[in-house]
Chains A and B, each alone.
Chain A
């Protein structure tokens, strides 16, 4: 029977059927200090142990201090320290892999999973974090879980899950210059809404997806979380294999090639049936920006705040008005030209080397507008080092950006650093919820290019007109 890529991975990991789903074998478990420490601790306290420590990885990314300069072994905010300490202690006691604050392999979990070759095509990977689907860009089935599920995963190396439905997003056409995977993702979420893929595994396919490099594929899969997808996945190809060869946790040499020959099978059969199909033409996508407090509130950058009529299928009148007042906007207001206070490049969405390169190309020889606080946080210590080695760091710094240590940083507010109340920030992150980047902070989601162009202009700006 023809099968989808998801079904192939599902079947290969299915230990037993359960009502409505299955008990699946897990190949990798990833933890971070914000949710991982508590799972390890609670597991130990309930008298269980980690079943397969060699398959379990932990990193410090969420509350770790990212302020420029030498790496502080603690949190940005003292209240975060217990998370780091408990994770460190429990990870050592359990004998799992740990990328501690001073480890050169440290970074945001969804950046280092692929970077270190921990995630491989055809694997199952779970992490108590909602953007775990990012790692599906490699061709793995990777999904976010809660802490109790994480305990179950750690104790048994398995998880019982309901079987998701399948959705293929087929993308053809070519992205225009200055338009990126981030814009593609925001376009898709804008069209299909915040619940557009609820209960589905999304497979991104088609010539436009094949043409995306691996890091852009990660951006696309990252944002599938904002469609409420169970997971996102892209069939591995030669680009994927080339990306993974020689990564520290990928099999070495001949063993890699043998694995790669098995990975060739990891694609949906031509006549495989999906529960739902969506078609998209990449050439129609323009640089995107959000106006409201959900990623679905996305518009082309030359758009203006919609009237209630246009969004009434999705938002109650009350929610619409609440979003406008939170964002300090009124109906009909053009988004381009809105003065900004902050610009943020980072997060598991857009903090990889290629993201930084593209932003730096726009920043080279320019200065951030006066009054704008601009911040760049590389997604991993390795990205940071590579960016420094090729001179990107100094481009950012000369333009007036803070150049930081890697971590989640101001992608989310945990009581430490944040932008100030009422400040308007253009951000390469994935969520613009109320309070996400600080109490009352107003977040506009966009690509790193748009963030860079806006930082220079001092207002929301189209990166294509800023290009030289």
Chain B
């Protein structure tokens, strides 16, 4: 279950590229196990490491910059998390330590995945992102922005900007309550809805029992 999110003051890393897709965040080949963990190492692998075998950090890549050490906030460009719907992208970011992502816009599936995992996807105006990035970059270890989900603002020194987040996403992040548990409390209502629906649309239920396909038992 996700951790509740209320406020966070932390080092922010700056990666101002637009259209950072989920394959850039976690390349497909880095997803080796059927698990939600073990992904932090592969985060941004194509950019983070120099080409070749043994993972040598590319000194030119932002996250390898000692200035951004310990970053828990990521400031990035537009349309962040586009591409494949793989939730591993969020798991990798979260495992690496990020709890808040600040961008002008997100891919919708990615944004929902963030909320499910207790990571705040906050949309700021383009100019706010630019000003914030500039302020942070001047001295990242000391210029730590504060993100408040309570007031829906990001503060940087004397300045602050509002950010956008859907009302239900905000509630879910603030409470940290698992969504499945929330919905299961409506179970009776769902069952009643389905019973009535079955009469309205019998064809939607005309499926027969599940038939697991045969498979040669592998010896």
CA distance A206 to B112 in the complex (A): 33
CA distance A160 to B28 in the complex (A): 28
CA distance A253 to B9 in the complex (A): 63
CA distance A256 to B213 in the complex (A): 25
CA distance A316 to B18 in the complex (A): 8
Q: Are B190 and A158 in contact (CB under 8 A)?
A: yes
A contact residues around B158 at 8 Å (CB): none
Contact of A144 among B18, B85, B197, B204 (CB under 8 A): B85
Bits for A11-30, please: 1 = Cβ < 8 Å to B, else 0.
01001101111010101000
A contact residues around B34 at 8 Å (CB): 37-38, 41, 82-83, 86
CA distance A149 to B71 in the complex (A): 28
Q: Are B209 and A54 in contact (CB under 8 A)?
A: yes
- Stretch of A182-190, A298-306, A337-345, A432-440 with 4 or more beta carbons under 8 angstroms from chain B: A432-440
Q: Are A38 and B35 in contact (CB under 8 A)?
A: yes
CA distance A98 to B210 in the complex (A): 8
Is residue A354 within 8 Å, beta carbon to beta carbon, of the partner chain?
no
Bits for A126-153, please: 1 = Cβ < 8 Å to B, else 0.
0011100000000000001111110110
B contact residues around A15 at 8 Å (CB): 186, 189-190, 193
A contact residues around B103 at 8 Å (CB): none
Count, chain A residues at interface, CB 8 A: 90
CA distance A79 to B110 in the complex (A): 25
CA distance A56 to B112 in the complex (A): 22
CA distance A412 to B84 in the complex (A): 10
- Stretch of A100-108, A272-280, A362-370, A396-404 with 4 or more beta carbons under 8 angstroms from chain B: A100-108
Chain A nearest Cβ from B206, distance in angstroms: 4
Interface-central residue, B19, B197, B202, by most chain A CB under 10 Å: B19
Q: Are A101 and B117 in contact (CB under 8 A)?
A: no
CA distance A105 to B213 in the complex (A): 9
CA distance A252 to B206 in the complex (A): 9
Q: Are B85 and A433 in contact (CB under 8 A)?
A: no
Given A158-B183, A160-B179, check contact A103 B46 (CB 8 Å): no
Q: Considering the complex, give the chain B residue whose CB is closest to the CB of A132.
A: B85
CA distance A2 to B188 in the complex (A): 32
Q: Are A431 and B183 in contact (CB under 8 A)?
A: no
Q: Are B28 and A414 in contact (CB under 8 A)?
A: yes
Contact of B112 among A146, A316, A413 (CB under 8 A): A146
Q: Are B167 and A19 in contact (CB under 8 A)?
A: yes
Is residue B53 within 8 Å, beta carbon to beta carbon, of the partner chain?
no
- Stretch of A87-95, A283-291, A383-391 with 4 or more beta carbons under 8 angstroms from chain B: A87-95
CA distance A228 to B85 in the complex (A): 12
Is residue A458 within 8 Å, beta carbon to beta carbon, of the partner chain?
no
Interface members, chain A 347-370 (any B CB < 8 Å): none
- Stretch of A173-181, A192-200, A449-457, A459-467 with 4 or more beta carbons under 8 angstroms from chain B: A192-200
Q: Are A122 and B201 in contact (CB under 8 A)?
A: yes
28 contacts between A and B (CB under 8 A): A19-B171, A23-B186, A25-B194, A37-B34, A53-B210, A56-B210, A83-B34, A88-B215, A92-B212, A102-B216, A122-B204, A128-B85, A144-B109, A146-B85, A146-B109, A146-B113, A147-B87, A149-B112, A157-B194, A160-B168, A162-B166, A194-B82, A230-B108, A258-B203, A319-B17, A319-B19, A434-B46, A435-B23
Beyond contacts A146-B116, A148-B113, A319-B17: 14 other A-B pairs, Cβ-Cβ < 8 A, are A48-B180, A88-B215, A99-B213, A128-B85, A130-B83, A145-B85, A147-B87, A158-B183, A162-B166, A194-B79, A256-B203, A412-B84, A414-B31, A434-B46
Shortest 8 CB-CB contacts between residues of A and residues of B: A415-B29, A148-B116, A103-B213, A259-B203, A146-B113, A147-B87, A251-B206, A100-B215
